[in-house]
Structure 1
Amino acid sequence: MNKKIFGCIFVFFAGLCAFADFNRFNIPDSAEIRRTKAESWFFGELGQLREKKSEIEKNAVGQEFQIRMEETDSTFAVVVAPKTLLETEIFTEKGVEKRTVDNFAGDSCGGWVLVKDSKTSKPLFLRIYFSQDSDEFVQFAPSGAKTLSDFVISGLYAAHYVPLGIPFEKLYTLSFEQIFSLTENLLPWKYADRQQGQFESKLQMIAAIRKNLERVVYCPDSCYDENGKPIFISSGKERKIDFEEIEKISGKIENPVVVDDAGFLKWICDGLVEPVTGSFLYRNPLVMPTSEENKTGKKSIISQNYYLSFSLDWCRNLAAAALSVKSHRNYLWKDSGVDVTLEPFASEVTDRGITQTAGYLKNSGYQIEKLKPLLFVLASTEPTYCYLAAIKRPLQDKKLSDSEIFAFDRCAVIFPFYDKNGRFNCVIFENGRELTFKQFAEKYKGSFIHLSRVLTENNFYLQ
């Protein structure tokens, strides 16, 4: 063969390898390593693999991977894990020192895990981690001459048992780019689509709210009207604020914002509309009813004394008002489309196996235990939106502690996004405080969360 032609072919092949290693998702790829190690690692029986020592190999672009075997009571796994750097604390004679050590975690981005049955050494499934969050992965299982594929987010299936027309063992040596091409039209990869800069307005709003949190003073039943004057939410009447009392309790605060949790959300939405309109949102449209629930029996009696749908109405109407200002059209809630009703998951992984999962419930929202996977999806599919969260929980009244009546009596704002490293993050503000998702989920365990979407803006100013 002509040496020049051979050289061109070699360069072309090397280019393909490099492309496979860092694909459109920028995921470390172990394909060429797996091709050379397939026979000795992926087809061997348990007894043979027990005698093998872990190996470290580099792909074409120098990314290191560790190949090893892990064993449980009934299964064993062949793991091909990329190297990451882990910050750790080490105790020495001089005290605690922070050091950076090499780490080869199978569930890190680019991790590849083949799980087999310990008794038969037959493959059970192959799991590939494509995200910086180990809660997101694709999984494949053999089914005769075909392969079944899953797309999993935080324990819920966005796609389950989708047939893939290739033999399972062919996956052992495919690059991630090749797997993506095979499943592009079968699996919901849009849930993993993250682009640089798409969260800019969201991050700007988060920073502005954080900067002003120290100004927020809680006061029940309080918000500001369209002219910036403090009023009672329940009646719309003007209220007097005792600034001397605030200073005694909270210390001296420059330009305090005196609100409750509902007034806090209005203050944020006012920061979106005031730069456009020159005024804040009116109170009266925000308490207009948005649902007609069948109130019978005990619920009918209780609803005479309690506003059971308050935060649901408040959040829906706030979102519709913000949309109206943005679009220069007057939207009522029912025509605005602000409700999040997405149902991206059909089933979930539990201790009892795979079970059906409840999605959106009309005028209730989502179970808080199922909210995080939904926020993963929303961060990818709606990167420029934040969400007003109306919280529906058991009625907080000691006299009715045995009641099964739920009320929308709290609200918060949620900003889901992916950071610059591609890791999922979620910032929640409630009542002038910032919460992690874990804190929020623990605080409202057993509750329902109804989401109304609001477009984030760079032109955002908090009065």
Structure 2
Amino acid sequence: MKRRQICFSIVFLFFSVGFPVYAAFNPLSISDSSSIREDIYYTWLTRSLADLREEKAIIRKNEAGDYFRVSFVEYEKEFAIICNPMVENDFPEKTSGSWILYRDKETEKALRIEFYFTQSSEVYFTFKPSGIKTSIDLRIFNAYLIKDHNFSLTFRDFYTLSIPQFYTLSKNLFPWHFFTPEENLYDANIQIASQLREYQDTISFVPNRAYDENGKPSQIFDSSENLELNTRDNIESNEILEDSDKLQLGSLGYVKWVVDGLVYPQIASYLKIQALKKATVDTSPRSRVETLSSRETIYAALDWTRNLATAYASVQLGRDLDFFTSGTEVNHSFFALSYDTKGLYKESAYIFNSGYSSHLLKPLLYMLALTEPERMYIAAIKDFRSDTEEGKLDIGRFRDALVFLPYFDAKREFQCPVFYAGKEISLDELIANSENDFFSLVRIKTELRFYPLKKE
């Protein structure tokens, strides 16, 4: 640890003597306000609250020609000095390049610095004083990719630290290369999302309904399999109509229909239903789950989505794969810490045979879009809903599935269309309505050749 601290100190000293590194080391082409912050160190950053109340916002230009606004904002218990870049003739407060110093109103001591390096106002670094060092967090929505990592620089060093300097200091800690999404890597996801929107009015929600390998409508489970399939998000369930002019699909049938749209251009047929029902969960003998499983199908959606991803990977590779060695399941544990909508700290890791808590979906999908572009994700949903008076089951059931299509648009802004049983739903609303649910994800390689079954 001492060697690392010495290394950081030497590097910082090297930069602080004025070595010209701006163009060479700015990894995301982020507008850098360091020269402006150096100029306003005494006139803004360290001024008293009373003096700052008299100041009006100013506009300054850095050496690269980028304009920044320097302003003061007062809150209930703290105040902020904001240095934010101009974007399309405006100065959004929290955008790529924004730098904000927060100070306590009562003591006027510095509390933290927030540095925004992407287009999202919910993805940023936080620098906090920690003795003679500085503690660093990297927050992605409601989760932390990095939490309480100490840097061997004083907090005041970060007042004027440039982006190239910070990049050089942090490149072994922080995966900067992941945060430079290439637009063309998301073409297939964008196209598929657009097509699925066009198909919304052609699909009727019918639970337990799918299309077989020949494109013919079929039941997924028979009565002996004792499965109660859910309807979510107020989507109305319809009766089977043999002469319907719409595709009739449940949530499991829908995710198969989507994947079949990728399968058909490769093998000129669709996936077999029976193969997607193969068990992928071994339950402990004489356990409550094993006893329940003998009476009720509780892993239906989990088995279905796992087998679906494995079958598609097998088509792509031209050989039969086993789910457990296929590499299709998402099991990353990206985050050091996370919290839910109530501000309560929560489990941040993947849980085997359960997946991820719903509160992790947004930061998880953000990271997956960065680290695994050209993928969509099929999720099996483990819910604890019950029609009993208690209203909640103590053992969850996998009864539903949906599709995530995360991508970054031309402005490098994160998007994630979600499709459930033929309809697009909001990711934020899904999370809000799934407080106790878990989502087990599998990855599907997307292609521009996407030809889903149409109703003849």
Task: Name the TM tier (shorter chain).
Answer: 0.7 to 0.9
Q: Distance in 1 between matches of 2:344 and 2:384?
A: 29
Counterpart for residue 315 of structure 2 = 325
Query: Which of residues 76, 81, 84 in structure 2 aligns to 1:81?
Result: 84
1:89-108 mapped onto 2 (5 Å cutoff): 103-108=90-95
Query: Which of residues 35, 40, 43 in structure 1 aligns to 2:43?
Result: 40
Could you list the per-position Cα deviations for residues 68-96 of structure 1 after superposition, in whole angstroms to 9, with x for gaps in the alignment?
A: 222233322211122345xxxxxxxxxxx
Q: Please report how far the alpha carbon of residue 322 of structure 1 lies from its aligned counterpart in structure 2 after TM superposition.
A: 0.5
Q: Does the CA contact (< 8 Å) of 2:189 and 2:374 recur in 1?
A: yes
Counterpart for residue 55 of structure 1 = 58
CA separation of 1:289 and 1:428: change in aligned 2, threshold 3 A: same
CA separation of 1:444 and 1:179: change in aligned 2, threshold 3 A: same
Q: Distance in 2 between matches of 1:461 and 1:182?
A: 48
1:284-433 mapped onto 2 (5 Å cutoff): 284-294=274-284, 299=289, 302-348=292-338, 355=345, 357-398=347-388, 401=391, 403-433=393-423
SS of residue in 1 equivalent to 2:27: coil
Larger CA Rg, structure 1 vs 2? 1
Counterpart for residue 233 of structure 1 = 220
Q: Distance in 2 between matches of 1:384 and 1:178?
A: 32
Could you list the per-position Cα deviations for residues 359-379 of structure 1 after superposition, in whole angstroms to 9, with x for gaps in the alignment?
A: 211101111012111111001
Q: Please report how far the alpha carbon of residue 294 of structure 1 lies from its aligned counterpart in structure 2 after TM superposition.
A: 3.7
Q: Please report how far the alpha carbon of residue 281 of structure 1 lies from its aligned counterpart in structure 2 after TM superposition.
A: 0.7
Q: Distance in 1 between matches of 2:273 and 2:342?
A: 48
Q: Does the CA contact (< 8 Å) of 1:191 and 1:376 recur in 2?
A: no
Counterpart for residue 260 of structure 1 = 250
Counterpart for residue 30 of structure 2 = 27
Q: Distance in 1 between matches of 2:377 and 2:256?
A: 13
Q: Does the CA contact (< 8 Å) of 2:183 and 2:408 recur in 1?
A: no
Q: Please report how far the alpha carbon of residue 234 of structure 1 lies from its aligned counterpart in structure 2 after TM superposition.
A: 0.9
SS of residue in 2 equivalent to 1:197: helix
Q: Please report how far the alpha carbon of residue 354 of structure 1 lies from its aligned counterpart in structure 2 after TM superposition.
A: 8.7
1:206-245 mapped onto 2 (5 Å cutoff): 206-235=193-222, 242-244=241-243
Q: Please report how far the alpha carbon of residue 49 of structure 1 lies from its aligned counterpart in structure 2 after TM superposition.
A: 2.1
Q: Distance in 1 between matches of 2:241 and 2:338?
A: 51
Q: Distance in 2 between matches of 1:196 and 1:214?
A: 29
CA separation of 1:34 and 1:401: change in aligned 2, threshold 3 A: closer
**2:441 pairs with 1:451:** yes
Q: Distance in 2 between matches of 1:455 and 1:359?
A: 24
Q: Distance in 1 between matches of 2:389 and 2:52?
A: 64
CA separation of 1:177 and 1:146: change in aligned 2, threshold 3 A: same
Q: Distance in 1 between matches of 2:54 and 2:389?
A: 67
The letter for the 2-side match of 1:121 is E
- The answer to which structure, 1 or 2, has the higher relative contact order (CA under 8 A, 6+ apart) is 2
Counterpart for residue 435 of structure 1 = 425
CA separation of 1:352 and 1:213: change in aligned 2, threshold 3 A: closer
Q: Please report how far the alpha carbon of residue 218 of structure 1 lies from its aligned counterpart in structure 2 after TM superposition.
A: 1.9
Q: Distance in 2 between matches of 1:323 and 1:439?
A: 31
SS of residue in 2 equivalent to 1:320: helix
1:198-209 mapped onto 2 (5 Å cutoff): 198-209=185-196
TM-score, scaled relative to structure 2: 0.85
CA RMSD of aligned residues (A): 2.8
**2:83 pairs with 1:72:** no
SS of residue in 1 equivalent to 2:405: strand
The letter for the 2-side match of 1:51 is E
Q: Distance in 1 between matches of 2:180 and 2:419?
A: 26
CA separation of 1:350 and 1:71: change in aligned 2, threshold 3 A: farther
SS of residue in 2 equivalent to 1:220: coil
Could you list the per-position Cα deviations for residues 97-137 of structure 1 after superposition, in whole angstroms to 9, with x for gaps in the alignment?
A: xxxxx643332221100112233333221110111111100
Q: Distance in 2 between matches of 1:74 and 1:287?
A: 57
CA separation of 1:349 and 1:436: change in aligned 2, threshold 3 A: closer
Q: Distance in 1 between matches of 2:340 and 2:304?
A: 35
SS of residue in 1 equivalent to 2:264: helix
Query: Which of residues 109, 131, 136 in structure 1 aligns to 2:123?
Result: 136
The letter for the 2-side match of 1:119 is E
Counterpart for residue 183 of structure 1 = 170
